[in-house]
């Protein structure tokens, strides 16, 4: 079912109304939504128990301090199936959540997964500068201020959701679309203005947006590829890296409780350093930061949803999210893997197909 909802309201107000209806009809017992933190101009996800605090929520605030997928993982651990929680995710968060479901880090059993179209986000600092008494919207920012990973994102709408809140192609209000049986059931209880039989203008709007972003991605990544080429390029790119691992901490799909790169594998005894120094003459410290980034590309490259949380968390503004976008889009295309596409896709690194890469290993000598 696809329909127009509250066509006289803007998307923020219409979405608040929609969640209010879900609460009123007792369809949900709580909701996870982007909200103003402690009355400040910071927007973070917050859990709501009723419709009373909905005016503190800003579903379309163009800022993402962290990926809500990770918070969803926390609240669905041993969750009570009697209580439904509705969560509002943007496309990259939904795609990260799909990867975490595949990795058994999220259970969607008691979750009503609501996604919304996303035009892009700005850095939290940029957002805070603009925010005053009013919380700014996407149109308050110039294109240059939008994070490059967002401008390259080919997913303006989420592939997996119970219900999607569409803004592309909406001329007022929001477009509610049920994408699962659970979503259909919910929308039966919601007062739509009109059912949308012809979705062609929405599709055209999404296609135009995707094409614009693809064009920017191709140009941007081609330049980046030239810049990082070879070990000299890579060393230069990561020259300011302080090995803090913030990028990994904020990565939604890097879920391991103990990371390999924090393990005792990398604890060496003093004499080893002495030996390496004598052999090389000069030994750059800290060790292994290039290995850390290359290793992480191999560990999560096929699950990377290009949300750019790594880049936003980097204290030295290394464009690590753009580099991971380059690596992951290329590798996922070559290996025919689509991160975040479907809950039933197999895990990329734990599975295989007998008929893939059949020429590898077989060379006759």
Partner 1 sequence: MEKEFDPKIVGFFCNWCTAAAADLAGTSRIQYPANVRPIRVMCSGSVDASYVIKALLEGADGVLIGGCHPNDCHYVNGNYKARRRVALLKSILTTLDLDPDRVWLRWISAAEGVRFAKVVRQMTEEIKEKGPNPMGKSTQT
Q: Which residues bind partner 1 (CB under 8 A)?
A: 225, 228-235, 239, 260-261, 280-284, 288, 290-291, 294-295, 297-299, 301-302, 326-327, 330-331, 334-335, 348-352, 354, 356-358, 360-363, 365
- Least spacing, CB of residue 273 vs partner 1, in Å: 13
Minimum CB distance to partner 1 smaller for 109 or for 227? 227
Q: Are 346 and 302 in contact (CB under 8 A)?
A: no
Minimum CB distance to partner 1 smaller for 188 or for 219? 219
Minimum CB distance to partner 1 smaller for 168 or for 237? 237
- Least spacing, CB of residue 334 vs partner 1, in Å: 5
By CB neighbour count within 10 A (0-12 exposed, 13-18 middle, 19+ buried), where does 71 fall?
buried
Sign of CA dihedral 123, 128, 131, 133: positive
- Least spacing, CB of residue 253 vs partner 1, in Å: 15
Minimum CB distance to partner 1 smaller for 56 or for 345? 345
How far is 218 from 329, CA to CA, in rounded Å? 11
- Least spacing, CB of residue 148 vs partner 1, in Å: 18
How far is 172 from 178, CA to CA, in rounded Å? 19
In the block, residue with structure tokens 């959540």: 97
Strands (E), 27-82: 30-36, 43-48
- Least spacing, CB of residue 95 vs partner 1, in Å: 19
Give Cα separations from 42 to 105, 129, 138, 250, 300 (angstroms).
Answer: 27, 11, 15, 18, 29
How far is 206 from 62, CA to CA, in rounded Å? 18
Minimum CB distance to partner 1 smaller for 27 or for 331? 331
- Least spacing, CB of residue 245 vs partner 1, in Å: 14
Minimum CB distance to partner 1 smaller for 191 or for 284? 284
Minimum CB distance to partner 1 smaller for 111 or for 254? 254
Beta strand 2-5 with 174-178 is antiparallel
How far is 210 from 126, CA to CA, in rounded Å? 24
Encoded tokens for 92: 């990259």
- Least spacing, CB of residue 315 vs partner 1, in Å: 20
């Amino acid at each position: 079912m696809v329909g127009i909802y509250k066509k006289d309201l803007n998307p923020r107000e219409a979405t608040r109304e929609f969640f209010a209806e879900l609460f009123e009809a007792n369809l949900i017992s709580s909701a996870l939504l982007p909200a103003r933190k402690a009355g400040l101009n910071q927007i973070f996800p917050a859990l709501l128990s009723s419709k009373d605090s909905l005016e503190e929520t800003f579903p379309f605030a163009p800022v993402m301090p962290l990926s809500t997928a990770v918070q969803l993982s926390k609240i669905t651990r041993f969750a009570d199936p009697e209580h439904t929680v509705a969560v509002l995710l943007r496309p990259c968060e939904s795609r990260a959540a799909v990867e975490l479901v595949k990795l058994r880090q999220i259970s969607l059993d008691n979750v009503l997964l609501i996604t919304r179209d996303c035009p892009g986000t700005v850095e939290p600092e940029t957002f805070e500068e603009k925010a005053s008494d009013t919380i700014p919207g996407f149109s308050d920012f110039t294109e240059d201020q939008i994070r490059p990973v967002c401008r390259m994102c080919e997913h303006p709408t989420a592939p997996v959701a119970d219900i999607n809140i569409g803004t592309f192609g909406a001329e007022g209000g929001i477009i509610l679309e049920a994408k699962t049986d659970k979503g259909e059931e919910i929308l039966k209880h919601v007062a739509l203005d009109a059912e949308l039989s012809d979705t062609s203008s929405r599709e055209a709007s999404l296609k135009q947006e995707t094409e614009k972003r693809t064009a920017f991605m191709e140009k941007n990544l081609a330049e980046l590829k030239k810049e990082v080429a070879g070990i000299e390029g890579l060393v230069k790119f990561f020259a300011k890296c302080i090995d803090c691992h913030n990028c990994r901490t904020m990565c939604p799909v890097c879920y391991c409780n103990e990371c390999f790169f924090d393990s005792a594998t990398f604890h060496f005894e003093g004499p080893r350093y002495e030996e390496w120094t004598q052999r090389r003459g000069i030994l750059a410290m800290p060790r292994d930061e290039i290995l850390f980034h290359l290793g992480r590309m191999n560990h999560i490259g096929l699950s990377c949803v290009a949300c750019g949380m790594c880049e936003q968390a980097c204290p030295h503004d290394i464009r690590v999210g753009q580099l991971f976008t380059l690596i992951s889009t290329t590798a996922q295309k070559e290996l025919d893997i689509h991160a975040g596409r479907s809950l039933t896709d197999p895990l990329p690194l734990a599975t295989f197909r007998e008929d893939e890469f059949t020429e590898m290993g077989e060379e006759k000598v």
